[in-house]
Amino acid sequence: MTSAVEEQVQEQHCSTRNNDIDNDVTDTSHTASKPRTHVRTVADLFVECLVNEGVKTMYGIPGEENIPLMEAIARDGRIRFILTRHEQGAGFMAATQAHLTGRPGVCLATLGPGALNLTLPVAQANASTVPLVAICAQGNVTRLYKESHQIVDLVSVFRPLTQWTSMVVEPASVPEMVRKAFSIAQRNRPGATCLILPEDVAEMPAPEDAHPLPLPDPMDFAPTEDTIVRAVDIIRSAKHPIILAGNGVARGHAENRLLELAEQLNVPVATTFEGKGVISDRIPLALGVVGFMRHDYENFAFDEADLIIAVGFSIQQFDPKKINPNDDKTIIHINTFIEDTDAHYSTALNIMGNIDATLKALIAALREHRITFGVSHPKIHELLTDEYDAYLHDDSFPMKPQRIVADTRRAMETDTDIALVDTGALKMWMARLYPTYYSNTCVIDNSLSTMAWTLPGAVSASLEHPGRPVLAVMGDGSFMMNVQEIETAVRVGARIVILVWVDEAYGLIKWKMDIHDGAHEYVDFNNPDVVALGMSFGAKGHLIESADELYPVLRAALRSGSGIDIIACPVDYSENMKLIDKLGEVDFSG
């Protein structure tokens, strides 16, 4: 809540404003036929600052308290406002746009219930180090100190979910506050910020001398020479190093440098779910993803490793206990921020700096010392390839997860087609088996692991990359959580395909229950007619009724070039426990 001083200041502002309004009413009663001249308001200044930050699109839902801001957006005309059907959808659209572009996404909600609906995507963006600026309306400052209609202490709500949250209480502060929100969202550890604009403040006259602040040049910081020397010494003493790559590699555009480091050292690279694609699966040194809930093939490479070179990794992407259960491995941490404390992620060296510049300096130093290893894990490649190939022609129906993954990859004909993978049992299968060749072409949230983000996310991905095939891969549980955004997709002319894996259950929780106690409960449900539901929104609907139908239907939908396609594909998740049993029998000792 605001301080007593701020409340007093605002009462003075509001008193002045109300007197001005009273005078305006009196004056215009004698000149009703004359058009009123618009006075530049705080809302207008706010929009000018957003435009200055490069904002071209905003997603959200208007409310009574943000009418002044909506009118300012319309007057300015340089920001495209995408009206969504739920604030969650708005936040996920903004976060996905930011993930794919690296530029802050912007979403808008009104006060109270609207703002509370925005908390989930804001928290998701912050956990996944995605730059996002949320803008929320608030009631008049003069009633924030008491119980009042729809009033919630939004600063207290958003502060633990963001890098920074604040409320505008002084018109002249707008340029600084907007600049600060965008600056913090893009700093060394990107994340979410939130600005709260009370209705009465938005309607105040903007100070004549208040204008957007100039944008600073981007700051890149390289590691010091002695830090690189220490890294080389640690690597020289290792016998079985391995590289762990996270989503920071893509954020820092360091994919090529990562490959160069791996080839220079001749060591394997495993990625997190969120780092999937930062090294092409066609590269022999690529091991695949690590972070599955059980000891997967890639984990055996970490079992043998004595050094982990973690590049762009944060512990929110998965529990480091999975790869360092005894905390006995040496870890070099390379990222733009220092990692949080974890008993299984004790770092011998933290290198904070531009990831691409850091890798470039490290590669040069390693080349000078002619350090190379020759660590390889052909059995891991063999096991993954065998698992993928074994189901290419499996005709059973409902379809096996492995066959759905393989047919999806075949239908996504170019390496740069975008797949957004939702949370659920399908995430485990897609992350493990879906071959990926470029970063941000198989996008997975494995930090907050939010359900239902991919349908709205696909909308903004399509608008950001028109003409590029975009596929949202969802379970039927997550599909129903944000299904209303199909209407948004149709209305704004997005071009997306939604592939729904249908099992009429919360499949991932069922899987974990079966692992835990051999049984499950309270996870099964009934679906509406998914195809008819999609068609009722104006989408094209397709029901898969045999295993040989998915590939041609999906391929045709991805290449049709217009409209929204919903594909419902029944899946047989009995493979889940078979995989757990199989992994428990894998033996690398030979």
- pLDDT tens per residue, range 370-423: 888 987 888 998 999 999 999 999 999 999 999 999 999 999 989 999 999 999
Q: Are residues 358 and 478 in the same domain?
A: no
Q: Are residues 266 and 334 in the same domain?
A: yes
Percentage of the chain exceeding pLDDT 70: 94
What digits encode the pLDDT tens for the residues 225-247?
999 999 999 999 999 999 999 99
Q: Are residues 242 and 113 in the same domain?
A: no
Q: What pTM did the predictor assign?
A: 0.92
Q: Confirm whether 213 is domain-assigned.
A: no
* CA 35 distance to own-chain centroid: 47
Q: Are residues 260 and 309 in the same domain?
A: yes
What digits encode the pLDDT tens for the residues 545-574?
999 999 999 999 999 988 999 999 999 999
Q: Are residues 247 and 156 in the same domain?
A: no
- CATH code of 371's domain: 3.40.50.1220
- The reported pLDDT for the residue numbered 31 is 40
- The reported pLDDT for the residue numbered 4 is 39
For 18, the token pair is 């109300």
Phi, psi (rounded to 5 degrees) for 381: -60, -40
Which pairs from 207-214 meet CB under 8 Å and 24+ separation? 207/171, 207/172, 210/45, 210/171, 210/172, 210/174, 210/175, 211/45, 211/48, 211/175, 212/48, 212/49, 212/51, 212/52, 212/53, 212/175, 212/178, 212/179, 213/49, 213/52, 213/175, 213/176, 213/179
Q: Are residues 490 and 409 in the same domain?
A: yes
Whether 164 contacts 25, CB under 8 Å? no
- The reported pLDDT for the residue numbered 589 is 67
Q: Confirm whether 215 is domain-assigned.
A: no
Q: In whole angstroms, give the CA distance from residue 285 to residue 259.
A: 9
Region of residue 526 (left: phi > 0; alpha: psi -120 to 50; beta: else): beta
Q: In whole angstroms, give the CA distance from residue 130 to residue 96.
A: 8
**Which residue among 345, 378, 411 closes a domain?**
378
- The reported pLDDT for the residue numbered 590 is 54
Residue 163 has pLDDT above 60, yes or no: yes
- CATH code of 43's domain: 3.40.50.970
Q: Confirm whether 135 is domain-assigned.
A: yes
**Predicted confidence band of residue 494 (pLDDT cuts 50, 70, 90):** very high
Q: Are residues 92 and 147 in the same domain?
A: yes
Whether 148 contacts 1, CB under 8 Å? no
Q: In whole angstroms, give the CA distance from residue 142 to residue 13.
A: 10
Residue 6 has pLDDT above 90, yes or no: no
Q: Are residues 249 and 359 in the same domain?
A: yes
Q: Are residues 303 and 337 in the same domain?
A: yes
Q: Confirm whether 140 is domain-assigned.
A: yes
- The reported pLDDT for the residue numbered 36 is 64
**Which residue among 352, 378, 404 closes a domain?**
378
Q: Are residues 533 and 408 in the same domain?
A: yes
Phi, psi (rounded to 5 degrees) for 368: -65, -35
- The reported pLDDT for the residue numbered 1 is 39
Q: Is 507 helix (H, G, I), strand (E, B) or coil?
A: helix
* CA 338 distance to own-chain centroid: 20
- The reported pLDDT for the residue numbered 24 is 38
Q: In whole angstroms, give the CA distance from residue 551 to residue 409.
A: 9
Q: Confirm whether 288 is domain-assigned.
A: yes
- The reported pLDDT for the residue numbered 37 is 80
Name the strands in the sheet holding 57-60, side by side, starting at the edge strand that comes first in the sequence. Answer: 80-83, 57-60, 105-109, 132-138, 192-198, 164-167
Residue spans of alpha helices (H) in 418-561: 425-433, 454-464, 476-479, 485-492, 507-517, 530-536, 550-559
**Which residue among 168, 202, 236 closes a domain?**
202
- The reported pLDDT for the residue numbered 2 is 42
What digits encode the pLDDT tens for the residues 463-482?
999 989 999 999 999 999 99
Residue 510 has pLDDT above 80, yes or no: yes
What digits encode the pLDDT tens for the residues 89-148?
999 999 999 999 999 999 999 999 999 999 999 999 999 999 999 999 999 888 877 777
Number of folded domains in the chain? 3
What digits encode the pLDDT tens for the residues 346-379?
999 999 999 999 999 999 999 998 888 987 888 9
Residue 57 structural domain: 4-202
- The reported pLDDT for the residue numbered 547 is 98
